[in-house]
Amino acid sequence: MAKTKAQAQLIEYILTFLFGILVLVTISTLFYTFYSRALKIEIEQSLNQLAVQIAEGIIKAYENAQNIKSQPSNMTSQLLYELNLNLPRAISNKNYEVIFVTSNPVWGSVGSIVINGQSVTPLVKTPGAKIIAKTTQDPEVTVEYDVPNINVILQGMCQNGVNGKLRYYRVNINGNLNDIIVIGNPELLTTITSVV
């Protein structure tokens, strides 16, 4: 009988120990889930604030440089305005990057207005320019922010705030003037001049 009582106590201790481990694993999982969600929310809010800050910088650069009556010579560009954004080195201790995606009529979609079964006028819908801010580490969070409708090309990217300057260029390609706002390295300015 003593042997059975000892076995029962041993089984009781093992079950208690296993139940304790189960409780610890459950609490740890709940804590980690809460922490992950809170971190994602914090990163998303920070990226949204960053995108708004950059959009305000774009508008400021556009307002200050659009009316400058300067025309660069053929096949050259001219820097009209530069703005240091003072971007942070990290978002919630995570690396990040900012990418400009410009609107372009090449990627537009064409629809039509039909009244009484008759096509009246074509309607061209072009997507707007966007600022895409995203983390490059886990957890990966991406924020897209629409830029107000401005008549300028956006391009470039910067990582972790390095070279986080906005530069407003006027480019002359065979007599076609284009205004371009660049973030990051302005070594290569590109624009579509024709589609064949």
The domain containing residue 119 runs over which residues?
2-184
Task: Examine residue 31 and state whether it is found in any structural domain, yes or no.
Answer: yes
Q: Name the E strands within the chain.
A: 76-84, 96-101, 109-115, 118-125, 130-135, 142-146, 153-159, 165-173, 176-184
Task: Examine residue 99 and state whether it is found in any structural domain, yes or no.
Answer: yes
Place of tokens 């309607």: 123
Task: Examine residue 194 and state whether it is found in any structural domain, yes or no.
Answer: no
Task: Examine residue 112 and state whether it is found in any structural domain, yes or no.
Answer: yes
Chain-centre distance of CA 120, in angstroms?
A: 38
Q: Write out pLDDT tens, residues 143-173.
A: 999 887 788 888 999 999 888 899 999 988 8
Distance (Å, rounded) from C-alpha 102 to C-alpha 144?
Answer: 12
The alpha carbons of the chain give a radius of gyration, in whole angstroms, of 28
Question: Coil, helix or strand for 47?
Answer: helix
Q: What is the pLDDT of residue 114?
A: 59
Task: Examine residue 190 and state whether it is found in any structural domain, yes or no.
Answer: no
Q: What is the pLDDT of residue 109?
A: 46
Token pair belonging to 19: 């139940």
Task: Examine residue 78 and state whether it is found in any structural domain, yes or no.
Answer: yes
Q: Say which DSSP state 162 is in.
A: T
Q: What is the pLDDT of residue 70?
A: 87
Q: What is the pLDDT of residue 116?
A: 65
- Answering whether pTM is above 0.85, one says no
Task: Examine residue 196 and state whether it is found in any structural domain, yes or no.
Answer: no
Give bridge partners of residue 155 from the DSSP assignment. 182
User: How many domains does the chain divide into?
Assistant: 1
Distance (Å, rounded) from C-alpha 27 to C-alpha 38?
Answer: 16
Task: Examine residue 161 and state whether it is found in any structural domain, yes or no.
Answer: yes
Could you give the count of Cα atoms lying within 13 Å of 67 in the half-sphere of its Cβ? 3
Taking 70 as the pLDDT cut, the residues of the chain under it are 1-2, 103-128, 188-196
Q: What is the pLDDT of residue 190?
A: 58
Place of tokens 């009244």: 115
Which of 108, 100, 97, 107 has its CA nearest to residue 153?
100
